[in-house]
Chains A and B, each alone.
Chain A
């Protein structure tokens, strides 16, 4: 298996622009998670899905952030409009519910100028 795939690996954009991050979970996994990692706040869970349904989005910082999972093999995290304080590494992870451990993608480093 190729593992969790994220794209792009790096994104540099200007304040106010829309940013879309993409994730393909491991085939067969039924839970998907979006995390943000910064020096100041460490790893934060933004949102997670079970069987494509959002279960908890309490970690989503503002209405500028939205996430979708239209099918079992694809999810997006969108920031519109982006701000410099959104600069961080965004991780996607997936798991098979019964086994708990989460497998992480390589992350997307987002820089908002």
Chain B
């Protein structure tokens, strides 16, 4: 079975600073995908970034980037130049190609961006 662990229940960062959210996962599979979802107070789940396990290059989406360490089974999210609108719950999620489309979510990290 796959598990996803987010060890930081809550974090805070000053506006314009950089913050890194941690995520580790456990799997015996080799082909899989990893995602970060953002859930702001509106509760809408928004896909932030995705990473294919077969790609060595870390995914980047504007101010969001990941540090994917496959051997260590680590998938952290870095938010640069934090903005007040980044305040949200962030969920790390995992899916493997042999389990259909079933996402396994971590417990989430609540991020507060302070002015």
Residues of A near any B CB (own CB < 8 A): 31, 33, 42-43, 45, 48, 50, 55-56, 89, 91, 93, 95, 97, 100-104, 106-107, 109
- The interface residues of chain A lying within 8 Å CB-to-CB of B107 are 42
Q: Is the CB of B44 within 8 A of A104?
A: yes
- The interface residues of chain B lying within 8 Å CB-to-CB of A109 are 43
Q: Is the CB of B47 within 8 A of A56?
A: no
> A interface, by DSSP: helix, strand, loop or mixed?
strand
Interface size class of B (residues with CB under 8 A): 10 to 19
Interface residues of B in 62-108 (CB under 8 A from A): 91, 95, 100-103, 105, 107-108
Q: Is the CB of B47 within 8 A of A31?
A: no
Q: Is the CB of B43 within 8 A of A89?
A: yes
The 3 A-B residue pairs with the shortest CB-CB distance, nearest first, are A104-B45, A43-B105, A31-B101
Determine which of B33, B45, B50, B102 lies in contact with A56 in the assembled complex, contact meaning CB atoms within 8 Å.
B102
CB distance from A63 to the nearest CB of B (A): 22
- What are some 20 contacts across the A-B interface (CB < 8 A)? A33-B101, A42-B108, A43-B91, A43-B105, A48-B101, A48-B102, A56-B102, A95-B101, A100-B33, A100-B50, A100-B101, A101-B33, A101-B35, A101-B47, A101-B50, A104-B37, A106-B42, A106-B43, A106-B44, A107-B43
- Beyond A42-B105, A101-B47, 17 additional pairs, beta carbon < 8 A: A33-B103, A42-B107, A45-B103, A56-B102, A93-B45, A95-B101, A97-B100, A97-B101, A100-B33, A100-B50, A101-B35, A101-B50, A102-B101, A104-B44, A106-B44, A107-B43, A109-B43
CB distance from B103 to the nearest CB of A (A): 6
